[in-house]
Amino acid sequence: GPDVAPQLAALLSDEDETVRAVAARALSRISTPEAAEALARTLSDPSELTSLRAAENLERIGPLAVEPLTELLGTDQRRAQVLAARILGDLRVAEARPALREAIRREWNTDLRAQATLALGKIGDPDDIPAILAASEDSSWPVRAQAANALEMIGDTSTIPTLELLAVDREWWVRLNASRALVNMGPEG
């Protein structure tokens, strides 16, 4: 129950990877704000497997994880920021939109900009189109590629001119995503 959350949170830093994974799963089953905070702190663990397990279990917790994940977007913990943006997008958390739009402007973290752009697309609010259009002009191709994906997810045909520009981008991944987005917009695309 919730009373063992502090002990389980302490196990998230155990030297044994299996113990950390089991503790993360147990915390997700408890699903308290304290469990979500402990798992969110673990997103910056040096072990990629541990941070991915924490991310998986934060998705299971759902809405209780929104606040600590949104707070992580404002830190300087690069991997944790990227995972937080991915989870918020997977959860389709509308309340995270302002923080995700702010994350797109973080020039020093390309992966965060790309993941925040994709997250806005997953959330699917047409009011975020201006931020995604700005991301489509980013100097880093991963951000432009995710902007094409995000525009596809929202599906607003007013973005076709931008997708047409992305379809002739110098990077093949951007071209592929933009072309797919255009095809999925039907006859207009």
Confidence class of residue 108 from pLDDT cuts 50, 70 and 90?
Answer: confident
- pLDDT score of 106: 81
Confidence class of residue 94 from pLDDT cuts 50, 70 and 90?
Answer: very high
Residue 15 is encoded by which pair of tokens?
A: 């030297």
Distance CA 186, CA 189 (A): 5
Quick one: how many helices (H) and strands (E) in the chain?
12, 0
Which pTM does this prediction carry? 0.92
Distance CA 108, CA 67 (A): 23
Q: CB atoms < 10 A from the CB of 104, how many?
A: 24
Distance CA 174, CA 171 (A): 6
Distance CA 11, CA 28 (A): 14
Confidence class of residue 168 from pLDDT cuts 50, 70 and 90?
Answer: very high
The tens digit of pLDDT for each residue in 142-155 reads 999 999 999 999 99
